[in-house]
Amino acid sequence: MEMVPQTMPLRFIPLGGSGEIGKNLYVYEYGDDIVVVDCGLTFPDEEMFGVDVVIPDITYLLGKADSVRGIVLTHGHEDHIGALPWILKQLNVPVWGTRFALGLVRRKMADHPHLADCELNEIDPDRDLTLGQFKVSFYRVTHSILDAVGLIIDCPAGRAIHSGDFKFEHTPLAGPSTDIQKIALAGRSGVLALMTEVTNSGDPGWVPSETNVSRTLHELMSTAQGKVVVSSFATNIARIREVFHLSVEHGRKICLIGRSMRENVEVAHDLGFLNYPEGEWFVDIDDVASVEDGMVTILATGSQGERTSALSVLSAGSYRKLKLGPGDLVIISADPIPGNERPFYRMVNRLCRLGVEVVLNDEAQVHVSGHANVEELKLLLSLTRPRFVVPIHGEFRHIARYKKLALAMGWPGEDIFTLGAGDVLELSSSGARLAGKVPAGRVLVDGLGDIGKAVLRDRRHLSEEGVVVVVVNVDVQSGELVGRPDVVARGVVSNEDAEPFAEAVRKVVCSAIEDAEISGPDELESARAAIQSAVKRVILDRTGRHPMIIPAITLL
């Protein structure tokens, strides 16, 4: 009898994100080999009180640490590399990325020195990488950051294509266009699955060309009389380079403000992505006042209105040496990130208030997206013709729209998979199936460690209603109060009401203690409950609020 070799399936598992949509970190597993793709973070939403960053839960990887051959990065945006400092601390495996992506990772060493002990390997997109039984090939893509790649991931079970973030752009401002030929070749030899980003699946047509933005910026600079401020993402070196060129063309010196703008420009320059005549064209913020208004371009971080960012500080008029006013022009070369409209427009309003002319992307094309629109998503499907389609890296509404598009192109619904964090998708030539769930999801990082749900629940309560602390001392012999109860309220009443408020609380606490007849530790719990409910009632009557009430009873 001949032995038929058992083909193992390729296992694909997103570990970050939510149970609904997995994202930020993807596991490709074949037998004893695991390749991790990307290692990103997200920023907390408004319900995550006090949380600094949200990173993927890698419990699953820690249990198979010996199998992890490394982490391959598609590009250097924070939602693809930002969790590395935390993840590498728990699982120190080699990291592969393009030159610019690694440049941005290395920049994190200042805040996370332990990264210096990690193995960071630069990839050459024209050379394949062997990681255990996986072969990873790369194709260059255009995105809103330089040096981004898509991945062709081969293993004995078949080929997966992992799009990373991408768009098709025939005339990028810098860097190569997406390598359509290489994708087509990879597709022609048969693709088991396409893991594709779907961020812009609700946007029809093609993303307009970057050259439109260049043209608009040129026109705006041609007529500008005063200072010109351009704000864009600090990682968008192609856009920044264009602003450099246009400024030089219009005889304007360049002033960089915002830490990440200065650092990224330095990284890009050091790595050869950005050439400029040293010194000559730059002016420091401390000297910007000495340059004529019409002779300077200010490149600023803060296109999203982040509280402490450069443009936000400018809009508040808080730079001592750089003030904006009538005659100056602020170009926000970015769209508000969905969900971030409030701080974005709050900053725009402040700029308008200064009398500055503000140009947003809805008025003139000063920005284009870095993500593929509907027709580009279709093109990728046609180029790759995968057996199975796995939309990743979008919200559920984007996935729903993408699914419609793939159905219209002929893929049957059962060949399109939506994965939540921890969902295991097994893929092989004989089919694809969901094969259970592994631990995964969001880890909320606050200060030095992660925090749990109970802590967040308490913070929400505190944030909405405040806290009242009641301190009482009881003589265990007589069951009577010693001294008067101490009442401390925070976030409940204003200073002028504080004393009458405390007096009212004290009164009900005194009667509650009297009624409790405490004669030992056994009655403590019920006395606490009695104080809780009496104080709760009097505060609700007085203020209509439900603060957190913390009674502290000491028996003497």
**Which residues of this chain interact with its own copies, rule CB under 8 A?**
20, 45-46, 49-50, 202, 338-339, 341-342, 345, 348-350, 352-353, 358, 362-363, 395-397, 399-400, 446-449, 451-452, 454-456, 458-467, 469, 471, 473, 482-483, 486, 488, 490-495, 542-545, 548, 550, 552, 554, 556
Query: Whole-number minimum distance, CB 471 to its own copies, in Å?
Result: 4
Cβ-based nearer residue to its own copies, 66 or 541: 541
Cβ-based nearer residue to its own copies, 332 or 372: 332
Phi, psi of 274 (to 5 degrees): -145, 110
Cβ-based nearer residue to its own copies, 504 or 548: 548
The three-state secondary structure class of 179 is coil
Query: Whole-number minimum distance, CB 136 to its own copies, in Å?
Result: 32
How far is residue 340's CA from residue 359's CA, in Å, rounded to a whole number? 18
Q: In what order do the strands lie in the sheet with 148-155?
A: 129-131, 134-141, 148-155, 158-162, 193-197, 388-392
Cβ-based nearer residue to its own copies, 291 or 498: 498
Conformation bin of residue 420: beta by default, left when phi > 0, alpha when psi is -120 to 50? beta
Cβ-based nearer residue to its own copies, 275 or 554: 554
Cβ-based nearer residue to its own copies, 267 or 399: 399
| 70 bridge partner residues | 35
Half-sphere exposure at residue 482, Cβ-oriented, CA atoms within 13 angstroms: 12
How far is residue 256's CA from residue 242's CA, in Å, rounded to a whole number? 14
| 137 bridge partner residues | 152
Phi, psi of 142 (to 5 degrees): -90, 135
Query: Whole-number minimum distance, CB 79 to its own copies, in Å?
Result: 17
With a CB cutoff of 8 Å and minimum separation 6, the contacts of 368 are 207, 208, 209, 210, 212, 213
Query: Whole-number minimum distance, CB 105 to its own copies, in Å?
Result: 22
Cβ-based nearer residue to its own copies, 4 or 454: 454
How far is residue 414's CA from residue 400's CA, in Å, rounded to a whole number? 14
Half-sphere exposure at residue 236, Cβ-oriented, CA atoms within 13 angstroms: 26
How far is residue 430's CA from residue 9's CA, in Å, rounded to a whole number? 9
The three-state secondary structure class of 103 is helix
Query: Whole-number minimum distance, CB 398 to its own copies, in Å?
Result: 9
Query: Whole-number minimum distance, CB 284 to its own copies, in Å?
Result: 31
Query: Whole-number minimum distance, CB 130 to its own copies, in Å?
Result: 39
How far is residue 173's CA from residue 28's CA, in Å, rounded to a whole number? 33
Query: Whole-number minimum distance, CB 212 to its own copies, in Å?
Result: 18
Q: What is the DSSP letter of 391?
A: E
Cβ-based nearer residue to its own copies, 48 or 151: 48
How far is residue 166's CA from residue 198's CA, in Å, rounded to a whole number? 10
Query: Whole-number minimum distance, CB 463 to its own copies, in Å?
Result: 3
Cβ-based nearer residue to its own copies, 370 or 466: 466
